[in-house]
Amino acid sequence: MTDAYVVGVDMIKFGRFPEKSVPQLGSEAALMALDDCGLKIQDIDALYCGNLGQSSGMVGQRILQQIGQTGIPVVNCANACATGATAFREAWTSVKAGLYDLVLAVGVEQMGKGLLGSAGGATGIPKEGLLGSGTMPTVFAEAGMEHARKYGTTFEQFAKVSVKNHHHSTMNPKAMYQIETPLETVMNAEMISYPNTKLMCSVNVDGSAAAVIASERKARELGLMGRAVKVRASVLTSDPWQERDLVMPDVNTCTRKAAAAAYEMAGLGPDDVDLIELHDCFATAEILHYENLGICGDGEAGRMVDDGEVALGGRIPVNVSGGLLSKGHPLGATGIANIYEVSTHLRGEAGQRQVENARIGLTHVIGLGSACGIHILEKAAA
């Protein structure tokens, strides 16, 4: 089985682009990722496209209409907030299967305004919802409150996640926002669903990200190993069945299962990881995922934030990009944007926000409904 490498990767600056079409947005990232490794669309063997809002609308093929209809296979994937990660993973799988040597994965989304919970209508998700009642803000508020009840996690600790991620994004020119948000500002913002205020909810933005994945042979042949990033693990899980009296799915179990499988596939543990881009769709979620991903013990997540261990310069920086809270969360693009961020650090090209000596990074997304995607990436041996 060949190893597979990210050889080109990029994302557009996230923002609001109502004047553009979804394929236009996707095309921009696709061309940027190709440019990043000096390739043309004519070099690519297959395209995997992740998009939720127009998932039945052949977005991948419409991207090719913009950048070059070469007749290659196109697969369109949708998997809630794990859509981009799923497209990346399917692309990776096709390289692992020996079907292709150079595959392009594109994730793209044009979001409506408003909170995530309201995105359902716009994205064609059936009116009855994915899993019965429950909107995104209440699901993640409840999950945070369960953590607070169990471990004494405070409103302030949850809020500090947002302060950290907004601070990180001041160093990321591709994030939606580059604004410091002091603790009082976060805590005094409009309350959406306790304990998450408006500044503790991810930002609905339009965006796209893309990656070129190459077989080891091809990456060497093209002289692309110098900036290549090895995919050490790619894992996808769904919710296991369980008795629960909450309306929400168990976002914790799903992530823990995926993390265990990813560490096993990579032959690594959480201590080996130098940076993480995880699914901070709400500030409460980030707290839960420190524990779910095993970077601290159960109940220790609040302290991790207090101690600055997850901030840039800390023991294991989390969401140095600004995360979903400030970089923004265009659903179908997020999974590949995470891979862009981690790859940029592994390449030592992250500028002011560079995590020093980053060698191994982890990306995590979770889609309610349910899908958890984890990738572990490693700087390629020169």
Site residues (CB under 8 A) for its own copies?
A: 1, 46, 52-58, 61-62, 64-65, 68-80, 86, 89-90, 93-94, 96-99, 123-126, 130-131, 235-241, 253-254, 257, 367, 369-371
In the DSSP assignment, the letter for residue 89 is: H
Q: Which two tokens stand for residue 75?
A: 């697969």
Rounded CA-CA distance 360/268 in Å is 10
Asked if 44 contacts 102 with a C-beta cutoff of 8 angstroms, the reply is yes
Q: Provide the annotated active-site residues.
A: 81, 329
If the CB atoms of residues 253 and 354 are measured against its own copies, the closer one turns out to be 253
| CB closer to its own copies out of 181 and 237 | 237
Identity of the residue, 236 or 365, whose beta carbon is nearer to its own copies in the bound complex: 236
Minimal distance, residue 81 CB to its own copies, in Å: 11
Q: Which is nearer to its own copies, 15 or 369 (CB)?
A: 369
Estimate the crossing angle of helix 83-96 against helix 331-346, to 10 degrees.
60
The single residue listed with the structure tokens 């990881």 is: 273
Smallest distance, its own copies to C-beta of residue 322, A: 26
53 by DSSP, 3-state: which? coil
Provide the minimum distance between the beta carbon of 300 and its own copies in the complex, in angstroms, as a whole number: 25
The distance of closest approach from Cβ of residue 259 to its own copies in the complex, given in angstroms and rounded to an integer, is: 13
Between vectors from CA 259 to CA 257 and to CA 261, what angle results, nearest 5°? 70
Nearest-approach distance from CB 253 to its own copies, in angstroms: 8
- DSSP code per residue over 269-318: -GGG--EEE---SBHHHHHHHHHHTTSS-TT-HHHHHHTTTTSTTSSS-B
On the 0-12 / 13-18 / 19+ scale of CB atoms within 10 A, 369 is middle
Of the pair 85, 316, the CB lying nearest its own copies is at 85
- Six-digit token pair at 18? 């109502």
